[in-house]
Structure formats: C-alpha cells, structure tokens
Structure 1
Amino acid sequence: MKRAFEPLALGGRDEYLARLARCPQKVSDYSFANLWGWCEEYGLEWSFGDSHVWLRQTRPETVYWAPVGPWETVDWSRCPTLNGGGSFIRVPARLADIWSEALPGRVEVSEAREHWDYVYLVSELSALSGNRFHKKKNLLNQFTKNYAYEYHPLTADCIEEVLQMQMEWCVWREAECDATLAAENRAIARVVKDWDRLPNLLGGAVRVEGRMIAYTVAEALDDSMLVIHFEKGSNGFKGVYQAVNQMFLEHQGQGFTHVNREQDLGDEGLRKAKLSYNPALFLEKRAVRVLA
C-alpha cells in the first residue's frame, strides 16, 4: 500500500537508499544528494509503497518522476498508479521500455535529450591521454606549471570555505546570473551544509596560496559509478576546471569505473563542453505519458 505524498525528509534517507539500490538503472536525478539539494526548488515529495518510492515535483507545476525500486519484477499492468494514467518525466530509457511492453498501446514515449546523463570512463579522464584529450591535457599542464597548487579531499571542516568560494563565484557571474544559477546556488548550500548527514558524498578542493579556487562535490551512485553534482572554479586561473576534474578523479575516483557528469539541460554551451570530454556512453531518459 502506498503512503500519502509528503515532503522529502532526512528521516526517510535510509529507506530510500535501500529502494535505490534495487533499481536496475541508476541515473543522476535519483541520487539522494541530488533530491535533497533540489527538493525545495522543485517542491519534491515522495510516497513509499511496498516495493517502490514514487516521486513528484510540485513546482512550478505538479509532475511525476519515475518510481524508484525493482522495475523488472513488477506486474505494471496491475499498478494502480499507472492504471490511473498520467505523465512522467526523467524516466530512464529501460523503464520506459518496460512500461511500453507491459501496457501495449497505452504508453506514449518522447525523447528527452536535455536530460540524458553524460557518462565517462574514470581511467580516461584521470589520464587524459591521446589526441582526443590533447586540449584538456594542455590546459591541465598550464595550470600545474603556472600555479603553486595543493589538492585536498573535501571534508566537513571545509564547508565554510566552499560556501565562501561559492559566494565569490556568484558575485563574479552576477552579470549573467539568472534564476537557474540562483537556484543552483541554493542547492549547493543545502547539500554542503548537510555534508555529515548525506551518505556517499565525497569531493575535492584545489587551493593556490592557501585560498580555495576550485571544488567538486560528488556522490557514489553505486560501487562502480560516481556522479559529480557540482564543480566550480574561480575566475582568472587558466585550466582550473581541467585541473579540479582530473585531480579529483586521480585522487578519489580510482575505485570507480565510470563518472556521471549529469545533464546539459538543453544548454548548447554546456552540451558542447560535456561532449568535449568524450563521453563513453549516455544514460538516456524519456518523457512518458500513460493513458488511463
């Protein structure tokens, strides 16, 4: 039996993560830190059933996300939620296919390219070898040659530094700061302030002359894949993004096979930047309409 929808709460964290662990295709949207960071911006709510967690956002309008749990052992034709019909976003491609097969003639699927996750090989992004990565490696080399830098893993005692650097980054970007960047800033603050209460978080920071100039906040999706939620670099340090990306994976990503750098949200500049790192694969997502 499904409980009523209620706002996300840290008290439900462990039960949610147990359901996520049984999910056959894990995409960045459904990591707990991502949900927690953005829950106020989207008005996210969840409802726990016997085997799945149902998610919906209530801002700017109410729309459902994919259920989290063991998709492949369910008789979806008898699911009360689906039998009532409705629209779902951020649906992993595998689940969209499962629903289409279980509910023939009742599932309308459309592309959601802006929500595809970009997934890379950790070995490639930490080594940056070969012609495909020549420009990235050149920028990294310029950074390491020009600056007396230090790399450190992020820990709870670094949080005030992260917040200070994030505030400075927002001031620098103020001329182009729109509602999306403002929302991201609030999401970053929410995640890092709860660092000790969010399992599976890890990150790194680069300092020059004692000052933090770049940081990465990431999360382990499972034993083989990291997802990078936030990555920021200060203005005026050439190669800073290539440096923090490579150093984080070199120091803390070696136990993982893949790194997920999330979506491009349809932003052409972001899409170009993500493609330039030569993704190994995409985790595709769909928009789905189920007819009653």
Structure 2
Amino acid sequence: MSQCGSCNKIPKTKSFLGSAFLPLEEQGWPILDTFLRAHPHPLSGYTLSCLAAWNATYQYQWVFPERGTLLISCLSPAENKRYLLQPLGLFSKESQKQVLAEAGALKYPLRIVGVDPAFVQAFPDFAAHFSVSNERDNYNYLYQTEDLAKLAGRRFSKKRNLIAQARKEYSWTVETLSDTTIGECRTVVKGAQSERHDAASPHLEQETLAVGDAVRLFPHLSFDGILIRIEGKPAAFSIFEPQNADTMVVHFEHALRAFKGLYQVVNQETARAIQERGYAHINREEDLGDPGLRQSKESYYPMRLAEALVLTFSS
C-alpha cells in the first residue's frame, strides 16, 4: 500500500529495484518532509532541504514500497549508476526480500550509501548479503554548541586570537538570513571563487550548484542562517537547519578570505545564532577526505563523529 494517495498524482520514473520511484519534485515535499522528520538520521544528508539542494547533482528519487518504509535512490555522477540511501522506517522482511532479489538482477553491485551502523545491527540478515565498509571521508562532525559559541579554554586560544586580530582590522554586523537577503549569499560565493587561483574540483562545482539551489529554494524549505556584512557589504554567510530536536546542521558556510580570520568569525557567529535558537549540538557535516578541511574540523574538537558505512551487494 502506498504511504499516501496523493503520491499517485506525481509522475513516476522508470522502475528501480522493482518499484516505481518518484522524482524529487516540490509536490512531493510535504510527504517526504513529514516522514524524514519522524525518522531522523544521524547523518546530515537525510533532511528534505539537503536533498533538495543537492538534487541537481544526485537526482534523488523516492518511493514508499510499503506503508512505513521509505527508499531513496541517488545517481552517482562519477559512475552514472543508481544506488540507494539507507532505507528508513519499518523496512519489513517483504521489502528486504524485494530489494535483495532486485539487487541480484542488476548489472552492477548495488551500493547502499550513508548507512548508520545501527541499521546494520537492526537488520543483520539483510546486511549479511552485503560487504560492509567504513566511509571515513563522510563521517559527520558533531560539536557542543556551547564550545563553538564561547571558544573557552586553552584549546581554543588560536581561534580566539584570530578573531581578536580580525576585530582590530575590521568590524562586522550579523543578521539573520531572510527571503529578501538570501540572494546576497551569491555575492559571497562569487567573491570567494574569484579569490581562488587553483582549478575548482568537481565537488566544489557541485557545491556551488547546491548553494545556488539552496538560495533559490530558501523561502520554501526549512533553511535558516546568518549573513555577515563588513562595511555594509556581504562578506560571509552560513545556511543551517534543524536536523533533530537538539541538533542543528550547518550545510553551507562561505567567507571572503581577503578578511583574515573571517572563517573563524562566521563559525563562532553561527554557533552563537544556533545557541540562541536553543540547540545543544551542531553537525558540521563531513570533510570529504580533504586534508585541510579535516584538520580544520578536528581543530574545533568535535564531541564525536557520526559514522558512515557503505553496503555493497555480494550475494
């Protein structure tokens, strides 16, 4: 049985894994948003806003193969193959059998990406048909909001010094992003791109596209954020949203490197804004295996990392 009758009004795509998946289009957002909020995932990619922002790259599709179970598929840009995100909800024995049977009929090994270790523990018989590997590059970094907002103690002395130096060189104002100011984030992105002297990686190009879609869709989704101005001009921003009842996830954060210490400033101002909203934890997503990004995220002393597994069909 379908999760809701209105799904029948949305044009279906070609069958995948024996089910007629739906494109991630706006008419289906309320159904998805309700279900995703009822089944929060520890990784950042399982919110409607995140899926919508990255949809141009990953071409997400979704289906309720049974009431209480959601399957989301994604396209791998590098391989041009369709995979699954972790199944959410009930995921009954019948649904498991269907996925396994259809996986065996694929011309390539099915991969299930962004998997929480708890899923493997909850469905051991299903997981036994897959090889399981850690995907360290996609671990999410979880922080205490208070740590990033106050930067107290010796371990954050370098961060405080950079912000102090910034305060001597320039002053800034912070405002909450709104439907009328969200477009100014594009100015920051373009400015940051002009500061780069090396060729942009495919991921950076994809992120630029995702930021553009997040800006465009901002009024229609649960995005929140801040904009930092220097001398009245946009210089940095962050876009975030609630991931669950006590965690805010920061999806995008950009700053002009011409202003020394501005990345440390926007990091702290973002944490302060999130603290004001009453969230105890911050998810600052993954490092994608980038050494500089990993060092930066580790330098803020995460409370823990949310693991990401990949399941690859074997039998």
Same fold (TM over 0.5): yes
State the partner residue of 2:61: 45
Q: In the aligned structure 2, how far is the partner of 1:129 from the partner of 1:176?
A: 37
Q: SS of the counterpart of 1:176?
A: coil
TM-score by length of 2: 0.85
Q: Does 1:6 align with 2:22?
A: yes
Q: In the aligned structure 2, how far is the partner of 1:91 from the partner of 1:151?
A: 36
State the partner residue of 1:97: 121
Q: How does 1:30-109 map to 2 (within 5 A)?
A: 30-49=46-65, 50-60=67-77, 61-70=80-89, 74-75=92-93, 78-85=96-103, 86-99=110-123, 101-103=124-126, 105-109=128-132
- Post-superposition offset of 1:183: 1.5
- Post-superposition offset of 1:103: 3.3
Contact 1:76 1:82 in 2 (8 A): no
Aligned length: 289
TM-score by length of 1: 0.91
2:255 to 219, 226, 233: 233
Q: In the aligned structure 2, how far is the partner of 1:183 from the partner of 1:87?
A: 21
Contact 1:218 1:230 in 2 (8 A): yes
Q: In the aligned structure 1, how far is the partner of 2:94 from the partner of 2:266?
A: 44
2:156 to 133, 152, 156: 133
Indicate the percent of aligned positions where both proteins have the same amino acid: 28
Q: In the aligned structure 2, how far is the partner of 1:159 from the partner of 1:18?
A: 25
CA 1:79–1:67 in structure 2 vs 1: closer, same or farther (change >3 Å)?
Answer: farther
Q: In the aligned structure 1, how far is the partner of 2:184 from the partner of 2:116?
A: 36
- Post-superposition offset of 1:125: 0.4
CA 1:222–1:24 in structure 2 vs 1: closer, same or farther (change >3 Å)?
Answer: closer
Residues 187-211 of structure 1: CA deviation (Å, up to 9, x unaligned): 1010111111012x11001111101
Q: Does 1:163 align with 2:163?
A: no
Q: In the aligned structure 2, how far is the partner of 1:117 from the partner of 1:108?
A: 22
Contact 2:70 2:89 in 1 (8 A): no
Q: In the aligned structure 1, how far is the partner of 2:244 from the partner of 2:140?
A: 15
Residue range with higher mean Cα deviation, 225-234 or 246-255? 246-255
2:279 to 246, 256, 266: 256
Contact 1:213 1:233 in 2 (8 A): yes
Contact 1:92 1:286 in 2 (8 A): yes
Q: In the aligned structure 2, how far is the partner of 1:92 from the partner of 1:76?
A: 21
Q: Which runs of 5+ in 2 are unaligned?
A: 3-18, 104-109
Q: How does 1:182-201 map to 2 (within 5 A)?
A: 182-199=205-222, 201=223
1:177 to 196, 200, 210: 200
Q: SS of the counterpart of 2:180?
A: helix
- Post-superposition offset of 1:23: 2.1
Q: In the aligned structure 2, how far is the partner of 1:129 from the partner of 1:78?
A: 48
Q: Which runs of 5+ in 1 are unaligned?
A: none
- Post-superposition offset of 1:48: 2.6
Contact 1:65 1:91 in 2 (8 A): no
